[in-house]
């Protein structure tokens, strides 16, 4: 089931993703009706990445990068303890996001 669900998001465009969703629902509804109902609720919202250039689909179709950034910020915030003011918190968040951006730049430029 998981493999079939992931395959939907690998469709080349929105229309094919919807077709894949219909195939998924037909295949799994009898076996797992609650799971299919939950997965398909407001499903079109999860396809908003198709509104952007295809070259960045793999970067934006999940929230993994954002979750990783917040996890890194929480780790740094835990090391610091309490922030004396909002500006110091924002400064640390900025530095963590810049470091993450620099990591991606190195990875992307390494192959060029």
- Alpha-carbon span 28 to 11, nearest angstrom: 19
* Residue 87 CA to its chain's centroid (Å): 28
Residue 4 pLDDT > 90: yes
CA-to-CA separations, 28 to 1, 18, 35, 97, 102, in angstroms, rounded: 7, 15, 9, 40, 42
- Average pLDDT of the chain? 86
Nearest to 49 by CA among 105, 3, 8: 8
The pTM (predicted TM-score) of the whole model is 0.57
Q: In this predicted structure, what is the pLDDT of residue 106?
A: 64
Mean pLDDT of 35-64: 85
What DSSP string runs through 13-81?
Answer: SHHHHHHHHHHHHHHHTTT-HHHHHHHHTTGGGGGGGGGS-GGGHHHHSSSHHHHHHHHHHHHHHHHH-
Q: In this predicted structure, what is the pLDDT of residue 38?
A: 94
- Alpha-carbon span 22 to 20, nearest angstrom: 5
Q: In this predicted structure, what is the pLDDT of residue 52?
A: 86
User: Model confidence at 26, in pLDDT bands (50, 70, 90)?
Assistant: very high
Ramachandran angles phi, psi of 29, nearest 5°: -60, -40
């Amino acid at each position: 089931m998981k493999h079939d669900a992931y395959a939907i998001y690998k469709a080349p465009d929105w229309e094919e993703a919807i077709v894949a969703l219909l195939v998924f629902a037909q295949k799994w509804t009898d076996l797992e009706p609650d799971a299919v109902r939950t997965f398909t609720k407001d499903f079109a919202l999860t396809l908003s990445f198709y509104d952007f250039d295809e070259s960045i689909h793999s970067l934006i179709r999940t929230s993994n990068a954002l979750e990783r950034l917040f996890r890194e910020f929480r780790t740094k915030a835990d090391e610091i303890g309490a922030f004396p003011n909002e500006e110091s918190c924002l400064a640390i968040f900025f530095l963590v996001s810049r470091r993450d951006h620099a990591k991606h730049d190195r990875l992307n430029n390494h192959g060029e």
